[in-house]
Chain A
Amino acid sequence: MKKHNVYVCRCEDVTLDELYYWIHRGFTTFEGLKRQLRIGMGPCQGQICGEVIRRELANFLKKHPADVKTHTIRPLIMGVPLEAIAKAGDQDES
């Protein structure tokens, strides 16, 4: 498989090629890569790319995957429309 055909992040269309481009520029942590490539910032919030990128970083850094930190988990777990949040808030007040 060619590296430019392998998608490591499906939310933001990031290929293995692009991942390595930024790794070679010195971004060798998930948080650092996230900020250049938007991995972990899309609708899946890192649930799909997290493990794939952990494995690539572990390979590159010659570390055990368990020693490579992945993304910070942030709210929300699932996308929610803003108007639903605004309405739910109103109900609490009445």
Chain B
Amino acid sequence: MKADAVIIGAGISGSSIAWHLAKKGMRNIKVFDASYLTAGATGRCGAGVRTQWGTKTNCLLAKKSMEFFEEAGDLLDYKEDIEFKQAGYLILATTREEEAIFDKNIKVQHDIGIPSKRLTVQEALQIVPHLNPDSFLSASFCEKDGHLNPFRMTDAFYQAAKRLGVEFFFYEPVTDIKTNHASIEAVITDRRIIETDVVIDAAGGHAKEIAAMAGIDVPVFSEKHEILATEPTYPMQDPMVMSFSKNIYCQQVPHGSFLMGRSNPDAKHNHDVTSSWQFLEKMAKTVCDILPDIGKLRVVRQWGGLYNNSPDRQPIISSVDELPGFYVACGFSGHGFMFSPITGDLISDLILDKEPAINAAALSIKRFDETSNGDYETSVV
């Protein structure tokens, strides 16, 4: 089999890249996934989308992506409901230091036109009346932020890409990548060889292992993040409520259930996605402190997924000097769902040699070669 480009991974990134590439005119694109559509982090994520970031790069990626989500149904000609809920993110500051960081972040956001605001406790309570007023000092809010159904959003890219002729192969893991000096010759799966000279590594939690098959070292690691869902209830919370210092994000999705998650500072660097009671207990305590009314809801399920983290917690969307034709889209550090439209746009520009919408150097894998890099994203859960 021959292909003009092989995409490895059919999560939100691989699907978006496939559609963007096909839309910009590339033909004979093949996507391989070891499992089913959205089997990786994409089908396990909170699917929150926000523009309130601390670094300029992340703000730009988020803003461009949000503009896409606002039009996604039309752009992709998708008939199902992508369940876009644009009711904001309310981010709580619980310490003086955090308040100072939010003041700084908001300047970065305003510089590029993100309409975020600082709110007092009273103002925050008007948006989310069931917040515990003693649990925070002030907040930051942007009404443009929100949530989408990750399965539907991926399906939208998938169906649109298929209509443009992209071929998808599921349950067919890539097992090797054949190179000859500095060029790519083929991608090998468990059942065929695909001759190609363009490969896009969008394998999420396994992106490092895929790159290693081509002899490329990508400085990322994977770690488990856990999340739970409650029974559905009546609409009672508009925005996502989040706190970096208390380590929680909690959102009611249009279906009616609440999704909430937190990170584990002691998480090991591996591919484990099993559920733990420690998460359940800490999560329950944190949410009962900040949003006591939510404590009445029953948990129906919990699960885990992989964050793929980069050294500066910003994505790697890049070509690779050592191996022309090899592209990586990984290291999303827990935020690849919300960046997926711009990921597809940027990777396809790199491949087709077009001027990218955002300065590519900031996302290049080369940035980790330099010793002085202070632009670390701290606004993460």
Contacts of B282 in A (CB 8 A): 89
Contacts of B298 in A (CB 8 A): 43, 79-82
Q: Pick from A29, A35, A89: contact of B285, CB below 8 A.
A: A89
Q: B232 — nearest CB in chain A belongs to which residue?
A: A42
Q: Are A86 and B300 touching (Cβ within 8 A)?
A: no
Q: Pick from B38, B281, B287, B294: contact of A35, CB below 8 A.
A: B38
Confirm or deny: B284 has a beta carbon within 8 angstroms of a beta carbon on chain A.
yes
Q: How far is the CA of A5 from the CA of B282 in the complex (A)?
A: 43
Confirm or deny: A56 has a beta carbon within 8 angstroms of a beta carbon on chain B.
no
Q: How far is the CA of A42 from the CA of B299 in the complex (A)?
A: 10
Q: Are B231 and A74 touching (Cβ within 8 A)?
A: no
Give the number of residues in A that approach B within 8 Å (Cβ atoms). Answer: 25
Contacts of A81 in B (CB 8 A): 295-299
Contacts of B155 in A (CB 8 A): 36
Q: Are B303 and A74 touching (Cβ within 8 A)?
A: yes
Q: Are A86 and B281 touching (Cβ within 8 A)?
A: yes
Write the B109-146 contact mask toward A (1 if CB under 8 angstroms, else 0): 00000000000000000000000000000000000000
Q: Are A89 and B284 touching (Cβ within 8 A)?
A: yes
Besides A36-B151, A89-B284, 19 other A-B contacts (C-beta < 8 A): A25-B159, A27-B37, A32-B36, A35-B38, A35-B43, A36-B155, A41-B301, A42-B300, A43-B231, A43-B300, A74-B303, A75-B275, A76-B299, A76-B302, A82-B230, A82-B295, A83-B284, A85-B280, A89-B285
B interface residues with partner A (beta carbon < 8 Å): 35-39, 43, 151-152, 155, 159, 229-231, 255, 275, 277, 280-285, 287-288, 292, 294-303
A interface residues with partner B (beta carbon < 8 Å): 25, 27, 29, 31-32, 35-36, 38, 41-43, 45, 74-76, 79-83, 85-86, 88-90
Q: List 22 A-B contacts (CB under 8 A).
A: A25-B159, A29-B36, A31-B35, A32-B37, A36-B151, A43-B300, A74-B301, A76-B280, A76-B299, A76-B301, A79-B231, A81-B298, A82-B284, A82-B287, A82-B288, A82-B297, A82-B298, A83-B288, A83-B296, A89-B281, A89-B282, A90-B285
